[in-house]
Every structure is written in C-alpha cells, then in structure tokens.
Amino acid sequence: MVNIEKAPEGIEGPGFMATNLDQVIGLARKNSLWPLPFATSCCGIEFMATMASTYDFSRFGSERPSFSPRQADLLMVMGTIAKKMAPVLRQVYEQMAEPKWVIAVGACASSGGVFDTYSVLQGIDEVIPVDVYVPGCPPRPEQIIDGFLRIQDLAANEPLTRRSSEEYKRLLAKYDMK
Amino acid sequence: MESTITNEVFLQKLTDKFGDAIISSVEDYGMLTVTADSSKNIDILNYLFDEPSLQVQFMTDLTGVHYPEQELAFCVVYHLHSLVNNYRVRFKFFIGGEIPTIASATSVYATANWMERETYDFFGIIFEGHPDLRRILNVDEMVAFPLRKEFPLEDPNRIDKKDYYFGR
C-alpha cells in the first residue's frame, strides 16, 4: 500500500490551489531529509539495522544517506564522541548547508553516557546545537525512527524565516558560529 | 618452546655487571621483575641488548605507574623480550621530584618513541633525549596529566548527575 502525504490546508478550486508557502516547503523538506550518519560506536550498529530492510529507514524519505556534509540535511550523531573528535564533529556540522538539523542518538552523544571521564565529550551539545535527543544505550531502531519522526515534525512546521531570525543567530552565537 | 635462560642466570649476570644498581627483584608467576637505579636504565637496556648470551632485543611495553604516597612517586616499567632465548623480563625504575625525569629508551628501542609519548601524555614523565616528546592520545590543549592520582576521575562538565535532578 502506498501512502501519499496529505496536501496542506488551503483554498482549492477547479485547476488551482492556494496555500501557505511555509507548509509546502515544509512538506517537501520533511519527506526528503538526507541524513549524514556520524557513527562512532554501538549506536551506529543499531543505525545500520535501522537502515536495513527490516526497519527500512528509506520509507521516511531518507532514501539517500549522504556521506558528504555538503548535501546532508540531518546530522545523526551516534556514539561516543571523544574530546579529540569534537573539532571534527563541529567542522562537519559547519560544512552542512542550512537548513540543517541534528539528532543525538544514544546516551553517549546526548550526555556522555557511562563515559564520565576526561577524554570524552559530555554530550555533543557542548559543541553543536542539537534538535532531538534519542535516549538508550544503545536505542533500538524503533527509537531511532521515533527520533527521526520528531525531526520530521520540526522540518514540517519550521517557518521559512527561522534560519534568518535573531533567535537562531543567538543560538549559533552561543556556539561561536555564524 | 622453553626459555633457554633461567631467571637465576639472568639475575646473576645482571648483578655481576651492575652490582648496586640492582635494588631488588621478585618473581611473580614465573616472570622476573627487577627494580633498578633509574640513572642506569639506558646502560642496563644497552647491556641486555648487546650481550650475546641474552639478546633482549624486543620491547613489548613501556608504561608508567603513579604511587602518590611514595617519595619516588613515579615508576617507569619496561617489558622486555628476548626472541632468540624466548625469555621475558620486567624492569621497574622509580623516579621522583616535581618533574619526574628519566633517560629516553629511544636510543635502544625505536618502538619506545610512541610509548614514551603516551607515558608523558598520561603521567607527565619527562624522557630526556626523546626526539619529539609531545602528547599523542589526549587533546593537545590539555594541561593536566590525567592518570596521576590527584586528577579527578569524573568530568566537571557533566550535568546530568547533578543532585538537583534527583531531588537531593
């Protein structure tokens, strides 16, 4: 069975439909989020299962995992990030084009997890802004998919002006980014 | 294959050659551990390497230990292996002072290069004569030596273990 995404609300008549541009763009973005998997440990293995046939990540529009940050919309950080890795992660994030979203998958990416120690970053939100946190150690594929659906909600409902708003600029400034 | 040198013979040759520099020795699980004067470490390594009857020419491991309660608070441990004789031995050199310093083993074993950088990285032990003594595993900006006992185990940036999350 094929599910077709419902058209956004609008004024319809014979041969035309008028609606809000934000909603149309949001609909398009939501259903073709290209993820960049940044997998460093066991959460990455769970993501491999998520991508494979049983869970079939592609059915949510992320048909093409982008292994270049330049063409990616969603950075999925899965696994422990050592402090030495932090500048790399930050650079990958900065190379992504707007609009971009970030999921922290698993306890390590969200908070450092069991690695409460000098060499491990205590959550990736120390270096880049995060939109959705997926708990678990590691989370099951269902949980990763749930986190992805939350990103879809964000993408669908994001106003087109958000990325140029003062609030967004303040958020980036907090991370010393432009 | 059995080892062609016994611990007794090995220790005898060592004491004949270095005498007082050999501080103590102990045999754990059949493996000899020799504690010796840290100023003689390179002489000892060179002798073991060049002596035809020993030929201890392989360095398995080099690491450090911190004993904060001792006056000589740092220990440099060498694990050595004579491939010809199938003989393994462990050496310990204790050093102290504000900046613990010992001669670099890179002149004897090239493999000591990275292992001494690691030991410097984690314990702050200075290996004199090392060609490039800088951090190897930790971030370059780190100022502390994390495997010293006074270094706090947990990261100060950790927030999800704060008491107020648990109503304490």
Give start and end residues of each alpha helix (H) in A65-165.
86-95, 106-111, 141-157
Give mean pLDDT, residues A2-28.
89
Cα–Cα distance, B78 to B32 (Å, whole number): 12
Indicate the burial class of A165 (C-beta count within 10 angstroms; 0-12, 13-18, 19 or more).
Answer: exposed
Beta-carbon contacts of residue A175 (< 8 Å; ≥ 6 apart): A127, A128, A129
Return the ∠ at Cα B45 (arms to B44 and B46), rounded to 5°.
Answer: 90
Whole-angstrom CA distances from A91 to A68, A96, A170, B106 are 12, 9, 19, 36
Q: Is the pLDDT of residue A1 over 70?
A: no
Cα–Cα distance, A76 to A170 (Å, whole number): 23
ipTM: 0.75
Judging contacts by C-beta atoms under 8 Å, the chain A residues touching residue B142 are 118
CB contact under 8 A, B155 and A118: yes
Q: Does A111 touch chain B (CB under 8 A)?
A: yes
CB contact under 8 A, B154 and A111: no
The per-residue pLDDT for range B20-55, each reduced to its tens digit, is 899 999 999 999 999 999 999 999 999 999 999 999
Cα atoms in the 13 Å half-sphere on the side-chain side of A22: 10
The per-residue pLDDT for range B67-82, each reduced to its tens digit, is 999 999 999 999 999 9
* The two three-digit tokens of residue A42, written as one number: 């066991």
Longest dimension (CA), chain A: 65
The per-residue pLDDT for range B118-153, each reduced to its tens digit, is 999 999 999 999 999 999 999 998 888 999 999 988
Cα–Cα distance, B51 to B46 (Å, whole number): 8
Q: Chain B: give the shortest CA distance to residue A124, in Å.
A: 12
Residues 139-158 of B with CB under 8 A from A: 139, 142, 144, 146, 151, 153-155, 157-158
Cα–Cα distance, B10 to B19 (Å, whole number): 13
